[in-house]
């Protein structure tokens, strides 16, 4: 570990360290690919890539960064943002909480008092936020989701139909969650339509570079740093990043916050995104997962990047207020 701060990161030092990490962990083969969705069980476990994109649009990448895979639960971050744009934070909070659970991402649980799902990053909460997406019918709602992803990525995206149908045919736990929430009025009655939309959002195809651009847009006040297009209203960035920080890594969120200290989100296809606010987005893809459903290589890479360059939110910048401001506040 060095004393380097992220304000001093050079492209050459970051690129060199990314290549070192790629070489270091390329041979790591612990963990297993997700198999509860049959199509995901077919993936090559040796795939591995790392990508960073700065808010200025600088791209660094190593490994299989062009390989396409389904976004899976990382989609929850961006759909949460669209739900906030559609309804505002107060309304969304009535349907979905913002508390970490300490339970697995697919647990069939709701808050005992409010009857809301705990947060938008677990399956129950994500189904509820997907149910909030506006549109006249299934096609318009899907098109709005795809247009939203296009703004983040900077190009057209599509749904992998084989993964979508695989998830749809095996998603019995998700159906149970949806009917439980319907019982308590947390989602509306169009269960099949909302579940199909949820399965489709998880089956959107991206690569590691795409994810890094999406994370960089969140780091850049919602603006895609490559296309300069506003991907999400900047007023909701703090909502999105706050929930990512506390809930994005499921029942590993606490240790992640302690060791890495960045807003992040994982997906069972093997992707992880991390956001360095105001500076860059990080993405890692490796389909070998730990017992919690997080990419093993991805976690290790992010831990080392954070330590090497001082990226932890409570370490990376001097946030002391100017003396003049402190005097004004005191008076």
- 73 belongs to the catalytic site: yes
- Alpha helices by DSSP H, listed for 88-205, are 89-95, 123-131, 138-153, 161-170, 172-183, 191-202
Using alpha carbons, select from 171, 182, 176, 152 the residue that is nearest to residue 71.
Answer: 152
- 206 belongs to the catalytic site: no
- 25 belongs to the catalytic site: no
Compute the distance between CA of residue 32 and CA of residue 27 in angstroms, rounded to an integer.
Answer: 14
Instruction: Enter the tokens of residue 83.
Output: 């739900």
Q: What is the pLDDT along the chain (331 residues), one digit of tens a residue?
A: 333 344 458 899 999 999 999 999 999 999 999 988 888 999 999 999 999 999 999 999 999 999 999 999 999 999 999 999 999 999 999 999 898 876 666 566 666 777 788 799 998 899 999 999 999 999 999 999 999 999 999 999 999 999 999 988 887 888 888 888 788 787 776 888 989 999 999 999 999 999 999 999 999 999 999 999 999 999 999 999 999 999 999 889 999 999 999 999 999 999 999 999 999 999 999 999 999 999 999 999 999 999 999 999 998 555 444 544 444 444 4
DSSP letter at 250 equals G
pLDDT digits (tens, 9 = 90+) for 272-282: 999 999 999 99
Q: What pLDDT does residue 123 have?
A: 87
Q: What pLDDT does residue 317 have?
A: 53
Beta strands in 175-321 (DSSP E): 205-206, 264-266, 271-276, 280-285
Using alpha carbons, select from 7, 70, 72 the residue that is nearest to residue 250.
Answer: 72
Burial class from Cβ neighbours inside 10 Å (0-12, 13-18, 19+) for residue 30 reads exposed
Catalytic member of 73, 166, 286, 306: 73
- 22 belongs to the catalytic site: no
Catalytic member of 159, 268, 284, 301: 268
Query: By three-state DSSP, how is residue 69 classified?
Result: strand
Compute the distance between CA of residue 198 and CA of residue 88 in angstroms, rounded to an integer.
Answer: 20
Q: What pLDDT does residue 10 have?
A: 87
Cβ neighbours of residue 20 under 8 Å, at least 6 residues apart? none
Catalytic member of 22, 118, 152, 198: 198
Q: What pLDDT does residue 33 have?
A: 96
Compute the distance between CA of residue 202 and CA of residue 197 in angstroms, rounded to an integer.
Answer: 9
What's the pTM? 0.90
DSSP letter at 46 equals T
Dihedral pair phi/psi, residue 179, rounded to 5°: -70, -35
Catalytic member of 55, 62, 76, 152: 76
Compute the distance between CA of residue 290 and CA of residue 126 in angstroms, rounded to an integer.
Answer: 22
Compute the distance between CA of residue 69 and CA of residue 160 in angstroms, rounded to an integer.
Answer: 9
- Other beta carbons within 10 angstroms of residue 113's beta carbon come to 6
- 115 belongs to the catalytic site: no
Q: What pLDDT does residue 251 have?
A: 86
Q: What pLDDT does residue 187 have?
A: 79
Catalytic member of 159, 163, 250, 299: 250
Q: Angle formed by the axes of helices 208-219 and 138-153, to 10°?
A: 80
Query: By three-state DSSP, how is residue 144 classified?
Result: helix
């Amino acid at each position: 570990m060095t004393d380097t701060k992220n304000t001093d990161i050079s492209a050459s030092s970051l690129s060199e360290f990314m290549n070192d990490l790629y070489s270091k962990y390329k041979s790591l083969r612990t963990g297993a690919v997700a198999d509860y969705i049959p199509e995901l069980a077919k993936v090559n476990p040796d795939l591995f890539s790392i990508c960073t994109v700065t808010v200025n649009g600088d791209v660094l990448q190593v490994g299989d960064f062009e390989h396409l895979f389904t976004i899976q639960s990382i989609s929850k971050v961006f759909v949460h943002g669209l739900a906030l744009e559609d309804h505002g934070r107060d309304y969304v909070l009535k349907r979905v909480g913002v508390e970490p659970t300490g339970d697995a991402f697919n647990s069939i649980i709701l808050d005992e008092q409010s009857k809301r799902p705990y947060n938008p990053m677990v399956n129950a909460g994500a189904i509820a936020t997907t149910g909030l997406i506006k549109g006249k019918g299934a096609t318009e709602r899907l098109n709005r989701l795809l247009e939203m992803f296009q703004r983040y990525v900077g190009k057209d995206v599509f749904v992998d139909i084989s993964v979508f149908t695989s998830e749809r045919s095996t998603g019995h736990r998700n159906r149970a969650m949806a009917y439980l929430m319907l019982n308590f009025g947390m989602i509306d009655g169009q269960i099949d339509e909302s579940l199909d939309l949820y399965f489709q959002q998880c089956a959107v195809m991206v690569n590691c570079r795409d994810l890094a651009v999406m994370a960089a847009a969140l780091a850049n006040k919602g603006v895609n740093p490559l296309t300069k297009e506003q991907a999400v209203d900047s007023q909701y960035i703090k909502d999105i990043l706050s929930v990512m920080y506390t809930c994005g890594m499921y029942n590993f969120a606490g240790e992640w916050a302690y060791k890495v200290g960045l807003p992040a989100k994982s997906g069972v296809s093997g992707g992880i995104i991390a956001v360095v606010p105001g500076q860059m987005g990080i993405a890692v893809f490796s389909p070998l997962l730990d017992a919690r459903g997080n990419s093993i290589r991805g976690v290790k890479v992010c831990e080392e990047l954070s330590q090497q360059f001082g990226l932890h939110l409570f370490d990376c910048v001097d946030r002391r207020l100017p003396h003049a401001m402190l005097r004004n506040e005191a008076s």
